[in-house]
Each structure stands twice: as C-alpha cells, then as structure tokens.
Amino acid sequence: MIPILTDGGFSGCGTSESNGYVECIDYQGESPDEQALVSAASAYGYTLFERTSGHIVIDINGEKLRLDVLGLHEFDSVRKRMSVVIRFPDNVVKVFVKGADTSMFSVLENVCAPLWLPLEVYLMLNLRSGKADKLQEGVPEAIESLRQAGIKVWVLTDDKQETAISIGLSCKLLSADMQQIVINGTSEEECRNLLGDAIAKYAVRCSSRGHQNLKHKTNAEHGALDIPNCSKSMSLPKWNLGKEEGADTPLALVIDGNSLVYILEKERESELFDLAISCKVVLCCRVAPLQKAGIVDLIKSRTDDMTLAIGDGANDVSMIQMADVGVGIYGQEGRQAVMASDFVMGQFQFLKRLLLVHGHWNYQRVGYLFLYNFYRNVVFVLMLFWYILCTAFSTTSALTDWSSVFYYVLYTSVPTIFVGILDKDLSHRTLLQYLKLYSTGYRQEAYNMQLFWITMLDTVWQHLNLLQKIG
C-alpha cells in the first residue's frame, strides 16, 4: 500500500503543523480490500502517512509514529494470508497477520486455543471490515442473455458461501425454483458422503467409463444442447440428467474450496463431473486460484468443447490461462488478468456482444473461407492435372507468371479481405434479439464434414463442366 499526497481526496486527510493546511492522501494498493482497510483506519484517526521497504510512518491523531519493517511475507494462494514483522519505537517486536477467515481460524485453533474467544471477537470485527464486491452495471442481463443463447455459466469465486449465493441471486444466476445441492464438508469422509448422496438422490448417470463419448454426442432423448461454461467460464457439451427427483426441477450445485481439496485430490473427479454437468448452475466458493484452473481443466480433459474464462484479478490468472479463451476485465483488481488474457474489456456486459454478435459473425466468416479455400485449391490443382495429361507430360507451362499472380490475388487476397471484414449474414440487432441464433456455432452448421464433401463434389462437377466447354 502506497500513500500519495494530493491536494484533495477521499482516502485520508491530515493537518500540516508547519504550514497549517490540510494534506489529503490517496492510497494505491494491489487490491480494493487493502485500500478499504487503510481508508477505514484513516477515518478513525490512524493514517498511513509514509511507506517504504524499511519503515512505515503513521499519523495517530496528529502524532507521527515511525515503525520499522523487519520482515514481510506476501499473500499467496497456499497460505491465504499475509504477515509482517514490525518493531515499535520501544524495541517491541510484533507480528501482524491478515488473511482469509478459513486460514486464520485454522491457525488460531492450533496455536491459540486458550485465547479463542477474545481473539474470535477481535478477528470477526476486522474480517468484516473488507470491501464487498459490487456487481457492475448490466451483469444480470448479460448472464441471462448468455444462458438463453445456450451457454451454461459456472461461477468460481473466493468469496464465502453466503456471499457467493447472494451474488448468484442478484445476478439472476440462481432462482427460487432451483434445488440447491450444497457440498461443504470438512473431511474426506463427509465430502464423499455428501457427493454420493447427491448423485443417488437425483439419479445422476455415471459417465466415468466412457466420458470420451460425451464429445459432440447428440442427445437423442431431449434433442437439446446444454452448454456448460466456466465462469466466469464456458464450454459446449451435451449431457443427460437422471429421471428421478431432479428431472423437473433445475439443479444448482454449490461447493466450497475445502470440499474441492478432498474431491480433486482423492480421484473423485468423475463423480464431481457427473454431478456438475447434470446441474443447470455450478457455483464454487472459497476456491483458490489453482482450484479454479483445476475445474476448467476438468471440463477440458473430459470433453472436446471450448471453454472461456473471464476474471478481473490476479487470482483469476491461472483460470484464464487454462481456458481455451481468456477474457480479462480491466478494473480495480489490477492488470494481472488483463496481461494474461486473449481479450480485454472494461465491463462484463461487453461479453454479451463479444460472444453473441462478433462470435457468430467470426464463425460464419471462418467457415465460409475454409470451404472457399478448398474450392479454389481443388479447381487450380485439377486444371494443372488435366493439362499435364493433355500435353503428354511436356515441360510447357499451363499458366504464365502474370496469370498465376493474378489468380492468387483475385481469388485469394481480395475475397479473404472483404469476407473477413465485411461479411455479415445477420445484423447485430437480429442476433441480439434472437439469442438462439448463437447455437449455429456449437451445432457446426457453417462448417462440418457434410458441407465439406458437398463442396468438393460441387467443385469437381464445376471443373468437369468447364473442361468440357474448353475441349
């Protein structure tokens, strides 16, 4: 956290004794949580005035206090906490720790059990002083549009379970008619029982023996495509749900990071995969960065479907890099996610237009250009083939140098440029109004083996007609 003196600001202010004017301080840190904690302390009279690698200067109600920094252990995804060793002016050395409640409580249970009650009250007061996440404008509408287009959204967050469910309700990801499956065990046996009970209760079909058959498999019974995504991430497979209690009621899976530790590391990925793909919504809370990447890899390793991950902080980098397509949101969490992503946007709501409009256009253009390039090359090669036969394999050239140059310019460069930039089969208004049009992509309607062979047969037919007219 770095304090910067400004002429005006909102973070913290103090009166200069020498000049008699008010100095305002603007804080810049790695996360909004740190800025919120320091700003709140400043509001109560404890203002961070100066920060270097070796010392800290704090203004306590007008009195300056210099503290020496003896050691610093930065926050990481394994410890889930940050520690700093401070020496006070009276040579007293103290250690201050800030971290997630799950990691802090476990440390206090093992080390400070006799002092648990007062420490618990003190820590709860401090842990609740963090800055709550606020949904950006247009997030609920964007998520609803993605779901109507056939994309299933999975939310992977480091917030606690209650906060994650509240976010899911506010962004219209969870609804009142959904049956929530909560897995938040504290031991391997408890997680195994919760997972097994959910699979048995909702008659989830096992696909562990042949999960490769799920790749692009047609659901003949329902005739619909269900697209699971990773959360902030997205993918495109098709699966079945059991016929018992969960057949008519949509399911929502809520699982925390502690349970994922026992499930992902104890070779129970198949059971989790079967349960997750049977749910309409998957919400993972209190997950570490590596666990986010592990969940994305779970989908990638068991299907051939595309995954998209979107995030705005450093804890989302692993997930973004693991997914097929990574999207970073430029916000207050820093630029780590932006630097590691394939696409960058200012707000989550822009993802709707990126996928449903530009994604549709790009798929149509690429599919058309694939077929066109095969058509062009086959026509050219067959022309040379028949020419060689007609000339008895002589050394004469079928085309002049300029003819060859003009052929490739007119039939390669120009169509590719114009089609790749200007071709739009539907307007953006139509694509945003009829969201189901996005399904042409994951149904492979613009490019597939059937279209390929039809194009090849049509190419040979056109070539034979041209050869007959020339002959």
pLDDT in tens, 111-157: 554 543 343 333 333 444 444 556 778 888 888 888 888 888 888 98
Write out pLDDT tens, residues 327-382. 998 877 778 888 888 998 888 889 899 989 998 998 888 888 888 888 888 888 88
206 within 8 A of 225, measured Cβ to Cβ? no
Looking at residue 6, what is its pLDDT? Answer: 61
329 within 8 A of 343, measured Cβ to Cβ? no
Looking at residue 210, what is its pLDDT? Answer: 44
Task: Report the predicted TM-score, pTM, of the whole model to 2 decimal places.
Answer: 0.69
Burial (0-12, 13-18, 19+ Cβ within 10 Å), 318: buried
Looking at residue 160, what is its pLDDT? Answer: 83
Among 2-6, 305-309, 328-332, name the one with the lowest average pLDDT: 2-6
What's the alpha-carbon Rg for the chain, to the nearest Å? 30
Looking at residue 102, what is its pLDDT? Answer: 66
Write out pLDDT tens, residues 406-444. 877 877 788 888 887 888 888 889 999 998 888 888 888
Q: Strand, coil or helix: what is 297? A: helix
Separation of alpha carbons 67 and 88, rounded Å: 5
49 within 8 A of 3, measured Cβ to Cβ? yes
Note the Cα 270 to chain centre separation in Å: 22
Write out pLDDT tens, residues 227-258. 333 344 444 333 344 444 545 788 899 998 88
Looking at residue 459, what is its pLDDT? Answer: 87
Q: Strand, coil or helix: what is 364? A: helix
Burial (0-12, 13-18, 19+ Cβ within 10 Å), 130: middle
Domains and CATH numbers, the chain: 2-127 (no CATH), 139-348 (3.40.50.1000), 356-470 (no CATH)
Q: Considering only residues 209 and 360, tell me which one the structure prediction assigns the higher pLDDT.
A: 360
Looking at residue 120, what is its pLDDT? Answer: 37
Say yes or no to pLDDT of 83 above 90: no
Band (pLDDT 50/70/90 cuts) for residue 312 is: confident
Two structure tokens written together for 453: 């062979």
Give the HSE-up count for residue 81: Cα atoms under 13 Å, Cβ half-sphere. 18
289 sits in which H/E element: helix 289-302
